A and B are shown apart, each in its own frame.
Chain A
Amino acid sequence: MKKNSSMTVHSLLTLAWILISLYLAFIFAPNEANQGNVYRIMYIHVPCAWSALVGYTVIFAGSVGYLWKRSQFADDLAYAGAEVGFIFCCCLLITGPLWAKPVWGVWWVWDPRTTLTFVLWLLFVGYLLLRTFFVNPAQAALLSAVVGIIGFVDVPIDYMAIRWWRTQHPQPVIMGGPDSGLPPRMEIALFTSIGAFLCLFFYLLRQRLHMGTARRDLEQLRRGETATEF
């Protein structure tokens, strides 16, 4: 019961935070000088990017945790991080082209940032496919942990891509160096929406973890039943 109430609080907090960030993104933040209203997709695109990167980091943390402690929880965490992170990565790849079409004139450009983001999406797909294709479920946790850790090597490069290479993708506005940055109002709106998306991310993650436990409990109950029948 206690867990349920904390989940309810988390869901209400997420809802309120998202509503506030929507207000900030669409009404409070001013128009951009060159792009007008189009730039406002940034308040969804950038938070999705953060959530996707956090998602893969959760896979990495869960994988390391599983190999180290062999705890079921760590494995569940990695799996949950993959599923939730994948959703945000999909949103990231959908909102990007929506913005690029009016601003760059094309849906997609193969520059380092977009390429590596696509790679990140493929890493999620590979990891999720792998988890469904194991012959022996007992090995699933172990081997997907290995894949999760090796795949994580590519993640920091994706994050650093717009910092290392001059790409067509807009330069970073957060932690991007002395000349970067946003007008205060935009900055408030952006940080609020990043917070709201991360709050949503962790809410979904908790729900997914909860689902994993429930599924295992159910399987155990089923096994118990068949065992008594024989």
Chain B
Amino acid sequence: MRALDILWTLFRKDLRIEWRQRETLASICVFGVLVVLLFNFAFTPAGEESLRLLPGVLWIAFAFAGILGFNRSFAAERQNACLDGLRLAPIEPGLIYLAKMLSSLVFLAIAEVVIIFATALWYNFSFVPSIKWFVSIVFLGTLGYVGVGVTFGAVAANTRMREVMLPVLQFPVVVPIFIAAIEATSGALRGEASSQFASWVRLLVVFSVIFIVLSFLLFEYVLEE
């Protein structure tokens, strides 16, 4: 119970910081929408073609928006030595990770909703028929993506050129999540039977669980000075 209380407190703290600045959220939403816009100019898709491009466009927009968020997620903690305060508190480091992951998940989810609305509008595409599977796939993929991203964001924060370092670390590791997410999304949007893309969804679940458990266990080393 105590662990849940701590988690809730940390999670609320992250949300409150973000609410007072609204920097991260605004920048990842705008950036994600810009990616979709650029794709629209690059391909000017119409009809059947847009269905083929949509899953890729969506996930690339999610990925870029996410990277921007992870780069910032520990930036606030560095001001006024907040990270040292967290370190000194009698809290299990894994809980700090989980709280950061949940808050990043919420921010990216909000950005994703904005991105999805933008694509629905510009690509004249309705997500409603496949909404149940689509939402679950996007949730699972984002979960795994954020699971690694928060850890790597914390690692990259200790390097020079962290804006470059983070994608170089993050993208290769999450390639399996991307492949599975894009395949499953395109199956769902095409309205295939769920058995057709169930194996990709399973892969998503397996990877998300592995990445989150590993990060949870390893986070104490990331926080060590």
Q: Are the C-beta atoms of A147 and B152 separated by less than 8 Å?
A: yes
- Contact yes or no, B173 A134, CB < 8 A: no
A136 contacts the other chain (CB 8 A): yes
In the assembled complex, the Cα of A33 lies from the Cα of B210 at a distance in Å of 44
> Can you name 24 A-B pairs with beta carbons within 8 Å?
A119-B172, A119-B175, A123-B172, A126-B169, A126-B172, A130-B168, A133-B165, A134-B160, A135-B158, A135-B159, A136-B158, A143-B221, A143-B222, A145-B221, A146-B155, A146-B221, A147-B169, A150-B148, A150-B152, A150-B173, A151-B172, A151-B173, A153-B173, A154-B173
Within the complex, what minimum Cβ distance (angstroms) separates A133 from chain B? 4
Check A146 against B218 for contact (C-beta < 8 Å). yes
Which residues of the partner chain A approach B148 to less than 8 Å between Cβ atoms? 150
- Is the beta-carbon distance between A143 and B158 smaller than 8 angstroms? yes
**In the complex, chain B residues whose CB is within 8 Å of the CB of A157:** 176
Q: B residues near A, CB below 8 A?
A: 148, 151-152, 155, 158-161, 165, 168-169, 171-173, 175-176, 179, 207, 210-211, 214-215, 218, 221-222, 224-225
Contacts of A129 in B (CB 8 A): 165, 168
Chain A residues within 8 Å of B168, by CB: 122, 125-126, 129-130
Interface string of A149-164 (1 = CB under 8 A from B): 1110110010000000
Q: Which residue of B lies closest to A143 (CB)?
A: B155
Q: Which of A152-199 contact B (CB under 8 A)?
A: 153-154, 157
A153 in contact with B169 (CB, 8 Å): no
Q: Which of B159, B210, B214, B222 has the most CB atoms of chain A within a 10 A radius of its CB?
A: B159
Q: How far is the CA of A125 from the CA of B218 in the complex (A)?
A: 22
Supply 19 further A-B pairs (C-beta < 8 A) apart from A115-B175, A142-B222: A67-B221, A126-B169, A130-B159, A130-B168, A133-B160, A133-B161, A134-B160, A135-B158, A139-B158, A139-B224, A143-B155, A146-B221, A146-B222, A150-B173, A150-B211, A151-B173, A153-B211, A154-B173, A154-B176
* B151 A146 Cβ-Cβ under 8 A: yes
Q: How many residues of A contact B (CB 8 A)?
A: 26
Nearest-Cβ distance from residue B225 to partner chain A, whole angstroms: 8
Nearest-Cβ distance from residue B30 to partner chain A, whole angstroms: 28
A141 → chain B, closest Cβ, in Å? 10
Q: Is the pair B172, A122 in contact by a Cβ cutoff of 8 Å?
A: yes
Counting chain A CB atoms within 10 Å of each CB, the highest count among B211, B215, B221, B222 belongs to B221
B52 to chain A minimum Cβ distance, whole angstroms, is: 16
B160 touching A135, Cβ below 8 Å? yes
A7–chain B nearest beta-carbon distance, Å: 33
B173 touches A123 (CB 8 A): yes
A139: chain B residues at CB < 8 Å are 158, 224-225
Across the interface, which residues of A come within 8 angstroms of B211, CB to CB? 150, 153
* Distance A148 CA – B196 CA, assembled complex (angstroms): 34
CB nearest to B148 among chain A residues:
A150
Chain A, 105-118, contact with B by CB distance < 8 Å: what is the 0/1 string?
00000000001100
Chain B residues lying within 8 Å of A150, measured Cβ to Cβ, are 148, 151-152, 173, 211, 214-215, 218
Q: How far is B137's CA from A104's CA once the two chains are assembled, in angstroms? A: 35
| Pair A154/B221 contact, Cβ less than 8 Å | no
Instruction: Report B-chain residues with C-beta under 8 Å of the C-beta of A143.
Output: 155, 158, 221-222
Most chain A beta carbons < 10 A, residue from B151, B158, B215: B158
> For B161, what are the chain A residues with a Cβ–Cβ distance below 8 Å?
133
Question: Out of A130, A153, A154, which one reaches B155, CB within 8 Å?
Answer: A130
